[in-house]
C-alpha cells in the first residue's frame, strides 16, 4: 500500500476516533470534572484507533495519536472551563504545545513509508506477550501511552482551568525551556534525516547534536513536558504534582525506550559500541575521548 493510501486510511481513522471522543463530550454522561470527561473521551478515541490497528494488523495507526490529541484536549478544557485564565500564559504555553504537535506529526508523516511498515517494537511487544498478545497490544501499545501523555497534560489542564495567578518570571522560563527543547528536537531530526539519506551499511550517527547525546530527540521530548510542568507550576504555585507526567515520561524513556534502542543498535551495528564509549546516553555534554583515542594520544606523546 502506498504512503498516500496509507495516510488516507489513518486520517479516516483519526477523524472517526476524534468524532467518537467528541460525541462523548457532547452527549455522554457528565462526570462533573472536565479532566475526567477529557480522559474518558481520550480513551474512547484510543479504543477506536486500536480497532483500526487490529483490523489492519498494524499498530502504526497509533503513532501520530501521541501528537494529535494533546492540543485538542487543551482547547476543549480551555473552552469548556471558560475560567478567565491568564491569556498570555495560555498562549505562551500553547505556542510550545502546538509547535511540538506540528513538528512531531510532520516528522512522522515524512518518515512513514506506508502501511507495509510497522515500528519494530510493536511486534516485539506482542510476541513477548504470547497468548496475551491482544492485551499487550491494547494496553501496552495503545492505552498505556495514552495515559502517559494524559499525565503529561496535567499542567496544561491546570493552566486552562485555574485563574487568578498573574503572569510571572516562571512563565518566561517555561517558554524558553520549551523553545530550546523544540530547537533541539528539530535539529536532531534534520541531522538524522541527512545522515539516513547518505549513510553506508553499518555506519552510526555520531555527529552534530548526536555527538553530545545518543538520544537528543528523547532529551528534547522530556524538555517539552518539563516546560508544560513549569507553566502549570506558575499557574498554581507550590503544586509540584504537576510534574507527575514529566517524571513518567522520563522514566519511560530511561527504563524502556532507550534500553530497547541501545540493545538493537549494538546488535545491528558493532561500531555503535565505540559511540557508547564517547557519547553521553541522554543528557547532552561534550563527547569524551574513546580509549582508542586516548591510547593514540599517549603513544604520540
Would the pLDDT of 299 be above 60? no
Would the pLDDT of 100 be above 80? yes
Residues 298 and 301: their CA atoms lie apart, in Å, by 5
Would the pLDDT of 64 be above 60? yes
pLDDT at 298: 43
- 291 pLDDT band (50/70/90 cuts)? low
- The chain-wide mean pLDDT, for the chain, equals 92
When pLDDT is averaged across residues 116-145 and rounded to a whole number, the result is 92
Q: How far is CA 272 from CA 41, 147, 269, 276, 283, in A?
A: 43, 33, 6, 6, 18
- Percent of the chain at pLDDT > 70 equals 96
When pLDDT is averaged across residues 171-177 and rounded to a whole number, the result is 98
Contact between 226 and 246 under an 8 Å Cβ cutoff? The reply is: yes
- In a 3-state reduction of DSSP, which class is residue 94? helix
Crossing angle of helices 144-152 and 244-252, in 10° steps, is 140
When pLDDT is averaged across residues 208-212 and rounded to a whole number, the result is 95
**How far is Cα of residue 245 from the mean position of the Cα atoms in its chain?**
12
- The tens digit of pLDDT for each residue in 11-40 reads 999 999 999 999 999 999 989 899 999 999
- 293 pLDDT band (50/70/90 cuts)? low
- Percent of the chain at pLDDT > 90 equals 81
Would the pLDDT of 267 be above 70? yes
- In a 3-state reduction of DSSP, which class is residue 228? helix
- 295 pLDDT band (50/70/90 cuts)? low
Rounded to the nearest 10 degrees, how much is the dihedral formed by the CA atoms of 76, 82, 88, 89?
Answer: -60
- 270 pLDDT band (50/70/90 cuts)? confident
Q: Of 11-15, 53-57, 199-203, which range is least confident?
A: 199-203
When pLDDT is averaged across residues 118-130 and rounded to a whole number, the result is 90
When pLDDT is averaged across residues 146-175 and rounded to a whole number, the result is 96
pLDDT at 201: 82
**For residues 90 and 296, which has the higher predicted lDDT (pLDDT)?**
90
When pLDDT is averaged across residues 205-225 and rounded to a whole number, the result is 95
Contact between 255 and 273 under an 8 Å Cβ cutoff? The reply is: no
- 301 pLDDT band (50/70/90 cuts)? very low
Would the pLDDT of 297 be above 70? no
pTM of the complete model beyond 0.85: yes
DSSP string, 131-189: GGHHHIIIIIIIIHHHHHHHHHTHHHHHHHH---PPP-HHHHHHHHHHHHHHHHHHHHH
When pLDDT is averaged across residues 135-162 and rounded to a whole number, the result is 96
Residues 301 and 51: their CA atoms lie apart, in Å, by 65
pLDDT at 290: 64
- 289 pLDDT band (50/70/90 cuts)? confident
- In a 3-state reduction of DSSP, which class is residue 58? coil
Would the pLDDT of 296 be above 90? no
pLDDT at 292: 57
Amino acid at each position: 500500500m502506498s504512503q498516500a493510501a496509507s495516510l488516507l486510511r489513518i486520517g479516516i481513522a483519526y477523524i472517526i476516533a476524534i468524532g467518537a471522543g467528541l460525541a462523548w463530550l457532547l452527549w455522554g454522561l457528565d462526570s462533573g470534572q472536565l479532566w475526567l470527561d477529557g480522559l474518558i473521551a481520550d480513551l474512547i478515541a484510543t479504543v477506536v484507533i486500536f480497532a483500526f490497528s487490529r483490523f489492519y494488523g498494524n499498530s502504526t495507526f497509533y503513532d501520530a495519536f501521541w501528537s494529535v490529541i494533546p492540543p485538542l484536549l487543551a482547547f476543549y478544557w480551555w473552552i469548556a472551563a471558560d475560567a478567565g485564565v491568564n491569556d498570555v500564559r495560555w498562549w505562551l504555553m500553547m505556542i510550545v504545545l502546538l509547535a511540538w504537535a506540528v513538528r512531531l506529526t510532520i516528522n512522522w508523516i515524512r518518515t512513514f513509508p506506508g502501511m507495509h511498515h510497522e515500528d519494530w517494537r510493536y511486534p516485539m511487544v506482542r510476541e513477548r506477550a504470547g497468548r496475551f498478545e491482544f492485551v499487550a497490544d491494547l494496553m501496552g501499545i495503545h492505552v498505556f501511552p495514552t495515559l502517559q501523555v494524559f499525565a503529561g497534560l496535567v499542567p496544561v489542564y491546570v493552566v486552562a482551568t485555574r485563574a487568578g495567578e498573574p503572569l510571572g518570571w516562571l512563565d518566561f522560563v517555561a517558554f524558553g525551556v520549551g523553545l530550546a527543547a523544540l530547537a533541539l528536537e528539530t535539529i536532531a531530526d534534520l541531522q538524522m534525516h541527512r545522515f539516513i539519506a547518505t549513510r553506508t551499511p553499518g555506519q552510526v550517527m555520531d555527529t552534530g547534536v548526536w555527538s553530545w547525546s545518543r538520544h537528543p530527540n528523547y532529551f528534547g521530548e522530556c524538555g517539552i513536558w518539563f516546560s508544560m510542568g513549569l507553566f502549570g507550576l506558575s499557574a498554581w504555585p507550590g503544586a509540584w504534582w504537576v510534574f507527575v507526567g514529566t517524571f513518567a515520561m522520563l522514566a519511560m524513556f530511561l527504563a524502556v525506550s532507550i534500553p530497547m534502542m541501545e540493545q538493537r543498535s549494538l546488535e545491528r551495528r558493532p561500531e555503535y559500541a565505540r559511540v557508547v564509549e564517547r557519547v553521553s546516553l541522554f543528557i547532552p555534554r561534550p563527547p569524551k575521548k574513546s580509549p582508542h583515542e586516548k591510547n593514540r594520544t599517549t603513544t604520540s606523546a
